[in-house]
């Protein structure tokens, strides 16, 4: 059931976006789409046209990390194909229940870098703020799939103390909103937080790490664009897209709105077995990203999080793919092949020989 299958690009057969005969996702608020996401493995199998022989494995993986798939993303999955690259990112497998040496709950050792509620400070000049513990979609390879969000959820009062940490450190120039997914939070809460960050004079940039404009494009609405536009901070949004099939016309429209609000769009991908471990697929992804106004930024090798070992692509193969990709793309469309090493002060480039590793 969990055999690794590499796919080439194929036309997508779409699935209805709504249970109603005449409904559509675009007619629902983003909040309704968020709350209406599939959260049951049996329902997911039915929606993508797979029989229940997959159910035992799906339920096993679901026990450790629940299924969550919104309808807008589901609509881009090729029905009846268990090897569909979008489905593989969200369908639990029995392989997730296996214990694999070296795969741990906190692969980046983030617990050692939390100086205040909701705050991770690992790198110079920037801090990461856990703005939400929830996501619109649960990706099976997520390096924070075991993160104890309940221990780091910050109230308004606690955020005020956390913001004091930023005010007191004038070496900080960038605040990164992450999670979970920061855009799961209400616009009122985000507008307040961004306003507080805007008032810290030494901050220059606001960065958001999010999947919402991809998995629920309707999240990019007028209310969101208003608070994004109402700040002096330079705005960068790092999206997370692993395959060209994730980008449909609704995603492109959302990106156009973000760019009109002065947001620089970047993308980070994860190199995943059976999803994008092919030079043709990676090249198509970079080209499609650029069509949508997004620049490729990072191509991460898999973080060794417990439950995701079946997605691993060895370093030597990752490097070969990246070198082949370099020969087929202009430099500005070539993402940097990196991994995050606990304790390092920046992402580390992936090389075939460890002695030639360099940080940047």
Task: State pLDDT tens for residues 290-311.
Answer: 999 999 999 999 988 888 899 9
Q: Indicate if 345 and 264 belong to the same structural domain.
A: yes
- Model confidence band, residue 355 (pLDDT cutoffs 50, 70, 90): very low
Q: Cα–chain-centroid distance for residue 65?
A: 16
How far, in Å, CA of 126 to CA of 107, rounded?
Answer: 21
pLDDT score at 53: 87
The predicted-structure confidence for 208-234, as pLDDT tens digits, reads as follows: 999 999 999 999 999 999 999 999 999
Residue 40 sits in which domain range?
A: 25-97
In a domain, 178, yes or no: yes
pLDDT score at 147: 60
pLDDT score at 117: 78
In a domain, 348, yes or no: yes
C-alpha distances in angstroms, 292 versus 75, 138, 152? 19, 23, 35
Contact between 351 and 319 (Cβ < 8 Å): yes
Of 76, 97, 118, which residue sits at a domain end? 97
- Model confidence band, residue 50 (pLDDT cutoffs 50, 70, 90): very high
Contact between 346 and 123 (Cβ < 8 Å): yes
Q: Which of 50-54, 335-339, 344-348 has the lowest mean pLDDT?
A: 344-348
Q: Indicate if 193 and 158 belong to the same structural domain.
A: yes
Q: How many CA atoms lie within 13 A of 292 on its CB side?
A: 30
Contact between 233 and 272 (Cβ < 8 Å): no
Of 43, 68, 97, which residue sits at a domain end? 97
pLDDT score at 154: 64
The predicted-structure confidence for 27-46, as pLDDT tens digits, reads as follows: 689 999 999 999 999 999 99
How far, in Å, CA of 348 to CA of 335, rounded?
Answer: 13
Q: Indicate if 219 and 264 belong to the same structural domain.
A: yes
How far, in Å, CA of 251 to CA of 246, rounded?
Answer: 8
Block residue for tokens 């799906």: 58
Q: Indicate if 143 and 259 belong to the same structural domain.
A: yes
Q: Indicate if 56 and 156 belong to the same structural domain.
A: no
pLDDT score at 163: 95
Q: Which two tokens stand for residue 308?
A: 């995701």
Q: Indicate if 170 and 243 belong to the same structural domain.
A: yes
In a domain, 328, yes or no: yes
pLDDT score at 27: 65
Strand 119-120 versus strand 126-130 pairing type? antiparallel
- Model confidence band, residue 161 (pLDDT cutoffs 50, 70, 90): confident
Domain containing residue 121: CATH number:
3.20.20.70
The predicted-structure confidence for 229-251, as pLDDT tens digits, reads as follows: 999 999 999 999 999 999 999 99
Of 97, 119, 137, which residue sits at a domain end? 97
**Number of domains comprising the chain:** 2
Contact between 92 and 82 (Cβ < 8 Å): no
The predicted-structure confidence for 106-131, as pLDDT tens digits, reads as follows: 776 667 777 887 888 988 999 999 88
Question: Would you say residue 1 has pLDDT above 90?
Answer: no
- Model confidence band, residue 164 (pLDDT cutoffs 50, 70, 90): very high
pTM of the model: 0.87
Residue bearing the bigger pLDDT, 168 or 2: 168
Long-range CB contacts for residues 46-49, cutoff 8 Å, separation at least 24: 47/15, 47/74, 48/15, 48/74, 48/77, 48/79, 48/80, 48/84, 48/87, 48/91, 49/79, 49/80
Q: Indicate if 186 and 216 belong to the same structural domain.
A: yes
pLDDT score at 16: 34
Q: What is the 3-state secondary structure (H, E, C) of 177-214?
A: EECCCHHHCCHHHHHHHHHHHHCCCCCCEEEEEECHHH
């Amino acid at each position: 059931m969990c055999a690794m299958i590499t796919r080439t690009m194929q036309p997508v057969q779409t699935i209805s976006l709504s249970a109603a005969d005449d409904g559509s996702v675009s007619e629902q608020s983003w909040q309704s789409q968020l709350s209406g996401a599939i959260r049951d493995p049996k329902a997911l199998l039915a929606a993508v046209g797979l029989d229940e022989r997959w159910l035992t494995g799906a339920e096993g993986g679901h026990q450790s990390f629940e299924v969550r798939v919104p309808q807008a993303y589901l609509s881009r999955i090729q029905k009846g194909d268990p090897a569909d690259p979008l489905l593989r990112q969200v369908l639990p497998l029995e392989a997730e229940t296996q214990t694999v040496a070296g795969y741990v709950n906190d692969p980046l050792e983030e617990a050692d870098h939390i100086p205040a509620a909701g705050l991770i400070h690992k790198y110079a000049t920037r801090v990461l703020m856990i703005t939400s513990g929830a996501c619109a979609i649960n990706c099976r390879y997520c390096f924070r799939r075991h993160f104890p969000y309940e221990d780091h959820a910050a109230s308004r009062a606690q955020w005020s103390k956390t913001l004091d940490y930023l005010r007191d450190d004038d070496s900080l120039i960038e605040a990164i909103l992450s999670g979970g997914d920061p855009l799961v939070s209400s616009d009122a809460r985000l507008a307040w937080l961004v306003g507080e960050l805007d008032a810290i004079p030494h901050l220059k940039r606001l960065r958001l790490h999010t999947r919402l404009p991809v998995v629920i494009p309707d999240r990019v609405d007028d209310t969101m664009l208003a608070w994004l536009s109402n700040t002096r901070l330079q705005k960068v949004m790092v999206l997370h897209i692993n395959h060209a099939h994730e980008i449909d016309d609704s995603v492109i429209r959302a990106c156009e709105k973000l760019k009109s609000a002065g947001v620089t769009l970047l993308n980070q991908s994860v190199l995943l077995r059976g999803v994008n471990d092919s030079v043709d697929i990676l090249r198509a992804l970079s080209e499609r990203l650029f069509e949508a106004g997004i620049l490729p930024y990072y191509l991460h090798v898999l973080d060794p999080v417990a439950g995701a070992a079946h997605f691993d692509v060895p370093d030597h193969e990752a490097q070969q793919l990246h070198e082949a990709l370099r020969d087929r793309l202009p430099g500005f469309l070539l993402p940097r092949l990196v991994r995050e090493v606990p304790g390092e002060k920046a992402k580390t480039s992936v090389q075939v020989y460890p002695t030639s590793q360099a940080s940047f």
